[in-house]
Amino acid sequence: MKRTVLIVFLWTLFSVCNAQTSLPEIRVKTTDGKEIKLSDFTKSEKPLVISFWATWCNPCLEELEAIADSYGSWKKECDFEFLAISIDDSRSAGKVKSVASGKRWPFKVLIDENQEIMKAMNVSEVPFCFIINKKGVAVYRHSGYIPGDEITLLKEIKKVSDE
């Protein structure tokens, strides 16, 4: 009996963890206002990096600037997609496009105004970064940013690219 309860508990725990780390079937806006399905980005069969950020978050901007500075060389080392998903609400979402274009970020910038994706992926603070493998499952997650974190991120992207 105890063994059965343990197996059921572990299976439930495993299922809940997987549910929280898979890419949700939620629509997100581009900076041009078009809606696209987030899960469409896993169809390319490339690792997908998602960075949740906000225009009012200085560590977020620092992280995205550091990634933008290295992005070209990273793309030469491995093939992956990178999405910067803003969690700015409707009051500040208008700033997202101007911030991204002003900084000339080379990656896709999306807007999660209602923070649906953020909630679905169990993100409670920004900056928060995920790496999603080719099967659509989050295999790496990191909260916060200190200079140098982008080096670890690249190492993790390479691991997933080699799978």
DSSP codes joined into one string, 83-142: EEEE---TTTTHHHHHHHHHHT-SSEEEE-TT-HHHHHTT--SSSEEEEE-TTSBEEEEE
Residue 147's pLDDT is 95
Q: Is the model's pTM score more than 0.75?
A: yes
Q: Which domains, from first to last, does the chain contain?
A: 2-161 (3.40.30.10)
Residue 21's pLDDT is 52
What CA–CA distances, in Å, run from 117 to 35, 96, 106, 123?
Answer: 13, 17, 22, 9
Q: Model confidence over 56-85: pLDDT tens digits? A: 999 999 999 999 999 999 999 999 999 999
Note whether 140 and 130 are within 8 A (CB).
yes
Confidence tier at 9 by pLDDT (50, 70, 90): very low
